[in-house]
Structure 1
Amino acid sequence: MTTKTTNEAIEADKPDLIQEARFWRNNGWTARVVKNEDDEGWAVEMILDGESEPALVGPWTMGRDKKNPKPLDTLAFNTLVKTASEFRQRQVQQLHATLHQNITINAASGRISVTLDIVPDEDDPHALLAAHDAAGEELARVRVASGFKLNKASASAWIDAGFRRPE
Structure 2
Amino acid sequence: MTHQPELSPEADDPDAAGDNAEKIQEPRLWRADGWTARVIKNEDDDGWAVAMIKDGEPEPALVGPWTMGRDKKNPKPLDTNAFSTLVKTASEVLRRHEQQLHAMLHKSVIVDTDTARISVTLDIVPDEDNPFAVLRATDELGDELAQVRVSPGFKLSKASAADWIENAYRKPR
TM-score (norm 2): 0.87
What SS does the corresponding residue of 1:40 show, helix, strand or coil? Answer: coil
Q: Which 5+ residue runs of structure 1 have no aligned equivalent?
A: 1-6
% identity of equivalent residues: 64
Pick closer, same or farther for the CA change 1:154–1:59 going to 2, 3 Å. Answer: same
Tell me the C-alpha RMSD between the 2 structures: 1.7
Q: Which amino acid aligns with 2:89?
A: T
| Cα offset, 1:37, TM superposition | 3.0
Return the alpha-carbon distance in structure 2 between the equivalents of residues 134 and 152 of structure 1: 16
- For the pair 1:94 / 2:100, whether they are aligned, the reply is yes
2:48 aligned partner: 42
| Cα offset, 1:11, TM superposition | 5.3
1:26 aligned partner: 32
Return the alpha-carbon distance in structure 2 between the equivalents of residues 33 and 9 of structure 1: 20
Superposed CA deviations along residues 16-66 of structure 1, whole A, max 9, x for unmatched, are: 210011100000000001112332211100010110010111100011121
Return the alpha-carbon distance in structure 1 between the equivalents of residues 15 and 48 of structure 2: 32
How many residues align structurally?
160
Return the alpha-carbon distance in structure 2 between the equivalents of residues 100 and 160 of structure 1: 22
Q: Which amino acid aligns with 1:65?
A: D
- For the pair 1:143 / 2:166, whether they are aligned, the reply is no
1:131 aligned partner: 137
Q: Which amino acid aligns with 1:109?
A: T
Whether the 8 Å CA contact 1:33–1:45 is kept in 2: the answer is yes
Choose from 149, 156, 165 the match for 2:162.
156
Return the alpha-carbon distance in structure 1 between the equivalents of residues 39 and 14 of structure 2: 25
| Cα offset, 1:86, TM superposition | 1.2
TM-score (norm 1): 0.90
Pick closer, same or farther for the CA change 1:10–1:152 going to 2, 3 Å. Answer: closer
| Cα offset, 1:89, TM superposition | 0.9
Pick closer, same or farther for the CA change 1:121–1:19 going to 2, 3 Å. Answer: same
Pick closer, same or farther for the CA change 1:37–1:10 going to 2, 3 Å. Answer: closer
Return the alpha-carbon distance in structure 1 between the equivalents of residues 136 and 34 of structure 2: 38
Choose from 73, 77, 96 the match for 1:67.
73
Q: Which amino acid aligns with 2:161?
A: A
Pick closer, same or farther for the CA change 1:11–1:80 going to 2, 3 Å. Answer: closer
Q: Which protein has greater RCO, CA pairs closer than 8 Å, 6+ apart?
A: 2
Q: Which amino acid aligns with 1:37?
A: E
Whether the 8 Å CA contact 1:16–1:27 is kept in 2: the answer is no
Equivalent positions of 1:76-87 (< 5 A) are: 76-87=82-93
Superposed CA deviations along residues 105-136 of structure 1, whole A, max 9, x for unmatched, are: 00123000000000011101110000001111
Whether the 8 Å CA contact 1:117–1:129 is kept in 2: the answer is yes
What SS does the corresponding residue of 1:53 show, helix, strand or coil? Answer: coil
Return the alpha-carbon distance in structure 2 between the equivalents of residues 77 and 115 of structure 1: 40
| Cα offset, 1:8, TM superposition | 7.5
- Of 31-40 and 126-135, the range deviating more from structure 2: 31-40
Q: Which 5+ residue runs of structure 2 have no aligned equivalent?
A: 1-12
Runs of 4+ in 1 over 3 A off after TM superposition: 7-12
